[in-house]
Amino acid sequence: MNSFSKFIAIFLSILIIAGVAFVSGYYVGSNNLPEAEVVENSTDENDLHLPGEVEKRIVTVEEINSKLVELSEFSIYSSEYEATMSADYSRYFLDDIRVPFTKNSITLKAKGILKVGYDFSEIKTEVNPKSNIIYIALPEIKVHDNYILWDTIECAEDNNILNPIEFSQYKQLATEMEALGLADAEEKGVYENGEDYIKELIINFLSCFDEYEVKFL
């Protein structure tokens, strides 16, 4: 065999070997490919939303109560009143016989502050997610505080050397003025005004649940 024939034989052998190697590699590689990940389509109706559709928020009683606890620190209605009170004090012998020339007199005029509100631990709440309504039942409104502003007191007194005015008499008169101021504020509708104020406060505070309407029972 001449050199040309040998060259052709060698060239053909190389082609055959390369072809066998290519086919073998393709076969092995195709059988070792990773399997495609199968993703199942969710059929849960809650996961399906139309384009532009907003998922409805479900509000719970616990959420409402948590908000009301935050609000309780601010839900006090304050009303200012003005009261005037006069009293005469005398010394007595055996508790029922007044000692002559021992009378003293005090007249006090002052402003006071009356605060009313609710015990928020007694408020009852209920949520209707179908009608989007938050129901709130308020307990009886109560007096939280009532006091005289001592820096506003105007005092007129007639002291008596035989019966000097004591500080306890001022305190007693101030206590009676607080009761007088409370009665006057009640007559002017302090409870009704306080209820309206706190209802409005609750509605504004729960406005974060904008899909729900607040109704009071």
- Write the CA distances from 113 to 79, 152, 157, integer angstroms: 6, 11, 24
Provide the domain count of the chain: 2
Smallest CA-to-CA distance from 174 within 108, 114, 113, 115 is with 108
Q: Does 3 share its domain with 86?
A: no
In a domain, 50, yes or no: no
Average pLDDT, the chain: 77
Are both 155 and 81 inside the same structural domain?
A: yes
Q: Let me know whether 100 and 6 are in one domain.
A: no
User: Does residue 187 sit in the same domain as residue 97?
Assistant: yes
Between CA 104 and CA 89 the distance in angstroms is: 5
Question: Tens digit of pLDDT per residue, the chain (217 long)?
Answer: 555 555 555 555 665 665 555 555 555 455 554 444 444 444 444 444 445 555 666 778 888 877 777 776 667 899 999 999 888 776 666 666 666 666 778 889 999 999 999 988 888 999 998 999 999 999 999 999 999 998 999 988 787 776 677 888 888 888 999 999 999 999 999 999 999 999 999 999 888 888 899 999 9
Are 71 and 141 within one domain?
yes
Instruction: Give the three-class secondary structure for 112.
Output: strand
Q: Is the pTM of this model over 0.75?
A: no
- 136 and 197: one domain? yes
Phi and psi for 5 in degrees, rounded to 5? -65, -40
Q: Are residues 20 and 121 in the same domain?
A: no
Domain extent, residue 22, equals 1-33
Residues 90 and 3 occupy one common structural domain: no
Each residue's pLDDT tens digit, 2-30? 555 555 555 556 656 655 555 555 554 55
Same domain, 25 and 70: no
